Amino acid sequence: MVILSRYFIIIPLLLSYLTNDVIGTPLWCRGAKALHDTGVYVGALDMIVLVAERTIATVFVRIYEKKKTKTLGLFFVSLQWIFALLFVVFNQTHAITGLSYYRLPCRREYLSLMAVRIFMWTILASNMVAIIVFVILLHINKKRYEYYNTEFSNKYLSERYQIAENVRTTRLLYPLMLAYFLVSSTAIIMFIVSAFVHKRILQTTEIERFKQTSYVGHFFDILFALLAIIFPHLAVYGHHSLLREFKKIFKPNNPSSREPKPPKRLDGKQLIMNSAEERELHFTNLQSQWSSKKIYKKRDSNRSLLKG
């Protein structure tokens, strides 16, 4: 939506430069700006929504996979759109003056300095908290997986499966989250700096204002384009099976791509064990079971003594 609305803005501007005439009505340009800003505000909450969903999957690990519901997704999507629309409406109704340009209605910016500053500082702080929580969630799920991997009760099979999925999903999203955080933080810092120097820009000539605002807008669009290019590459490299399929497409005759690799568990250990490793694992589990039985017997004897 951001890219599409950007074309709605750029095309009238290019035609205005070529024809030296007004192309595009103020209503059209205002609608394109509102659509563009809505997409920006919706996308600004992507990182927070992802971390919130992963937090719910970690906290409610026993029932997350069993209960299928669309309520959670609808709630997060509605939250993003309500957040975006509130800021867009406030910017449209409290837009600052002095940003209009002769014969270029699509250069008109509809921004409120107070709303922009609140938005920037809120998103910057939220993204920092989100990346910290994301790292903590990965650590918690890895510890849970190591604990449940030593338990062989069928009672917790679904829970172990969901924990393994949480670890895999978090590892897959980790480079994406890091890239989003870096790009988002850079864009926010750029906009904060531009907001602080806005008063100085208003005191300059019209051409200088035009240049400065163009630099900020183009800088943001370039960052957004880079993020759109980086995201699929990081997703492919983080998903090993998907990466193998891509390698088969681009290197169909590569013999190394057809060589089978030994399967591994989520913790990096070999999934298929030899006879010596199986024997060692068997006696280790047997010893742990005997130890647990002794503990239970000792507890039962203590309870009987207390009752007596």
Determine, yes or no, domain membership for 13: yes
Residues 99 and 153 in one domain: yes
Q: What percentage of the chain carries pLDDT values higher than 90? A: 0
Domain check: are 225 and 288 in the same one?
A: no
pLDDT at 292 over 70: no
pLDDT band at 300 (very low <50, low <70, confident <90, very high): low
Is 197 in the same domain as 300?
A: no
Instruction: Say whether both 240 and 289 belong to one domain.
Output: no
Containing structural domain, residue 305: 273-308
Block residue for tokens 């629309």:
85
The segment with the largest mean pLDDT, out of 7-11, 55-59, 64-68, is: 55-59
Structure confidence at residue 197 (pLDDT): 67
- Compute the average pLDDT of residues 35-45: 81
**Structure confidence at residue 19 (pLDDT):** 75
Residues 166 and 297 in one domain: no
CATH of the domain at 14: 1.20.1070
Is 31 within the bounds of a domain?
A: yes
pLDDT tens digits for range 133-171? 888 888 888 887 777 666 555 556 667 777 777 888 877
More confident residue, 28 or 80: 80
264 belongs to a structural domain: no
Q: Is residue 263 a part of any domain in this protein?
A: no
Task: Please report the pLDDT score of residue 248 as a whole number.
Answer: 74
Per-residue pLDDT reduced to its tens digit, 193-242: 776 666 666 666 666 666 666 677 677 777 777 877 887 777 777 667 77
Give the domain-ending residue among 202, 219, 250.
Answer: 250
Residue 185's pLDDT is 80
Q: What is the pLDDT of residue 113?
A: 72
Examine the domain organization and report whether 288 and 238 are in the same domain: no
- Predicted local confidence at residue 31, as pLDDT: 80
- pLDDT the model gives residue 102: 56
Q: Are residues 288 and 189 in the same domain?
A: no
Residue 261 lies in a domain: no
Is the per-residue pLDDT at 61 higher than 70? yes
pLDDT higher than threshold 60 for residue 67? yes
Residue 13 has pLDDT above 70, yes or no: yes
Per-residue pLDDT tens digits for 30-39: 787 888 888 8
237 and 282 in a common domain: no
Interval 257-267: pLDDT, tens? 455 566 666 55
260 belongs to a structural domain: no
Q: Say what the pLDDT of residue 159 is.
A: 73
Residues 230 and 301 in one domain: no
* Least confident among 110-124, 188-202, 206-220, 281-295: 281-295
User: 201 and 86 in one domain?
Assistant: yes
**For the chain, how many structural domains are there in total?**
2
Dihedral angle, C-alpha 282, 285, 290, 296, nearest 10 °: -150
Q: Quick one: pLDDT at residue 100?
A: 56
Say if residue 74 is in the same domain as residue 207.
yes
pLDDT above 70: residue 282 = no
- Under 8 Å between Cβ of 109 and 66: no
**Res 262: pLDDT:** 64
* Residue 262 within any structural domain of the chain: no
Q: Does the residue 152 lie in any domain?
A: yes
**Domain co-membership, 30 together with 147:** yes
